[in-house]
Amino acid sequence: MPRLAIVGLLALQSALAQHPTFYKDVLPVLQQHCQACHRPGEPGPMPLLDYAGTKPYAQAISQAVGSRIMPPWFADPAIGHFANDRSLSPSDIQTIVDWAKAGAPAGDPKDAPKPVKWVEGWTIGKPELIFEVPTAFNVPASGVIPYQYVIVPTHFTKDTWIHLAEVRAGDRAHTHHIVVSLRDPGSTWLAGEPVGVPFTLKPHEGMSGAPGEFLAGYGPGAMPEMLAPGQAKLVKAGSDLVFQLHYTTNGQEGCDRSRVGFILSHEAPRQRVVMLAAANIRFMIPPGDPDYEVNARITLHSESSLISLLPHMHLRGKSFEFRAVFPDGHTETLLRVPHYTYSWQLSYYLAKPLRLPPGTTIECTAHFDNSADNPMNPDPSKAVRFGAQSWDEMMIGYFEVATDLKNGLRELLLPGQGNPAAHTM
Ligand code: HEC
C-alpha cells in the first residue's frame, strides 16, 4: 500500500476512534445523571435506558445538556458541595454533544457498563408500610383547584422511627406536588376537619393550631430523601398523616389516589431528622418591581447538623440564598441559587453534614421579579403577598437537621418562634 494511503487510513481510524459511542461513552453518563428520572414510571418524558430508546432524542439531548437545562440543577457551583449534584462536567457535556454531532453511533455493546438495577416503582426500595389516600380525587379537565387536604390516621400504637419515606402520586400528569405532614395526637391543627376525605382550608386555617412537622414530599424534580444509616424521623403513636395535594389541570380529566411508603428503622436510630424552615409571610412585592428583596431567619437552640436545603418560592421567584450565622459571629453561605425556577422543586443534600452549634441562625435572602420581563409572571400589575396558590407568593427556606433523638421542633426552636410554613408549599 502506498505510504500516503496508510497515513490517510491511520488518520481516518483515529478520527473514528475519537467519536464517542453510545455504549462506551454516553450510557455511563445517562446511568449516572439521567436515568433516575428518565425510566418508565418516573417523571422524565422518555426512558433513556438503551440505544433504541435514546437515539431518536440525540439532538434534543445534546441541546438540553449543552444549554444546561438537563439535568435540572440550579446551585451556584462556587458554593458548597452537594451529595445529589447531578450536574454534568464540561467533559461529559462535550462527550454528548460530540456523539450527537457524529450521528449518534452505537459502538460496541461489549463496551457497555452493567445496567443499573432500578427498583420498579419505589425508589427507596419496597416499602414495609404504605398509606394510601382512602378516597380518589377526580381532577376536572380545566380550572384552578384549591389545595386538597386529606387526613389519614396511622393507627400506630407505639412511637415509630421511619428511616425512609417516599410519596408517590397516583396520577402524575395532574399532580404538581404533595406534602405529607405529621399531626401529633392532641394537636389542634385542622381540628374538626373530616378524616379520610379531601377538604380545602378555610382562610388562615393552615397557619394556626401549630401545623405539624413535614415528613415527606413529592414535587417536580424531587427525589425521595435517602437518610444516612442510623437517621430517622419520629412518628409518635397515634399520629395522623396530613396529605396536602396540589392538582393542576391540563385539558383532560384525571383521577388520583396518592400514597406514601415507609421503610422503618430496624436498629435503634442514633439521630432524629427534623424539617425546619426560615419563612417570611409578611412581605408585599410591589407591582412591576424587577428585583424585590425579602429576608427570613430562624435561630436554633439545640445542637444539630444541617443535612439539606430546599428553597421555595412561586412564579415570581428569581434567586435564593441560604446562610448560617454562627454564634461566634462568622457567616457561611450554604447555597446560592442565582436563577430560581418554580418549575423544579429541588432539595440540595449537603455532601457533608454541617455542625450547627446552639445559637446558630439560618438566614435566607430571596429576590422576586414582579415585572413584565418575567415570562412566568401571571400579573405584573398586581401587588403580591404570601399565599398558597401559585399566583400568590411564598418565601420559605426549608432545611433539615439531624439532631439528638430527644429533640423535636419544640427543643430546637425558641418558644413562640413558630415554624409557620412547615407544611405549606
Ligand atoms: C430530576 C429528574 C430528571 C433528571 C435527573 C433528568 N431529567 Fe430530563 N427531563 C425531566 C423532566 C421531568 C422532563 C420534562 C420537562 C418538561 O416538560 O418541562 C425532562 C425533559 C428532558 C428533555 C426534553 C424532552 C423533549 O421533550 O424534547 C431531554 C432531552 C432530557 N430531559 C434529557 C435529559 C438528560 C440527557 C439527562 C441527564 C444528563 C436528564 N434529562 C436528566 C426530568 C429529569
Secondary structure (DSSP) of 258-281: -EEEEEE--SPPSEEEEEEEEE--
User: Cα of 18 to ligand 1 centre, how many Å?
Assistant: 27
71 alpha carbon – ligand 1 mean position (Å): 6
| Residues 154, 233 contacting (CB under 8 angstroms) | no
Number of residues written out for the chain: 425
| Distance in Å, CA 158 to ligand 1 centroid | 42
Torsion on CA atoms 396, 402, 404, 410, rounded to nearest 10: 10
Closest C-alpha residue for ligand 1 atom 28: 61
pTM score, whole prediction: 0.87
Q: What residue owns the CA closest to ligand 1's atom 42?
A: 44
**Residue 52 burial by Cβ neighbours in a 10 Å radius (0-12, 13-18, 19+):** exposed
pLDDT tens, N- to C-terminus, the chain (425 residues): 455 555 555 555 555 557 999 999 999 999 999 998 899 878 888 999 999 999 999 999 999 999 999 999 999 999 999 999 989 999 999 999 999 999 999 999 999 999 998 877 888 989 999 999 999 999 999 998 988 999 999 999 999 999 999 999 999 889 988 999 999 998 988 988 999 999 998 766 555 456 788 999 998 778 899 999 999 999 999 999 999 999 999 999 999 999 999 999 988 999 999 999 999 999 999 999 999 999 999 999 999 999 999 999 999 999 999 999 999 999 999 999 999 998 888 999 999 999 999 999 999 999 999 999 999 999 999 999 998 777 889 999 999 999 999 998 888 987 655 554 443 43
* Domains, the chain, with CATH or none: 3-111 (no CATH), 120-269 (2.60.120.310), 270-425 (2.60.120.230)
pLDDT given at position 7: 52
Distance 140 CA to ligand 1 centre (A): 27
Rounded distance from Cα 97 to ligand 1 centre (Å): 16
Ligand 1 proximity of 93 Cβ (cutoff 6 Å): no
Of 22, 32, 35, 37, which is best to mutate to test ligand 1, by the most ligand atoms within 8 angstroms of its C-beta? 37
Measured between alpha carbons, how far is 379 from 288 in angstroms, rounded to an integer? 9
pLDDT at 6: 55
Q: Is the dihedral of CA 133, 235, 190, 342 positive or negative?
A: negative
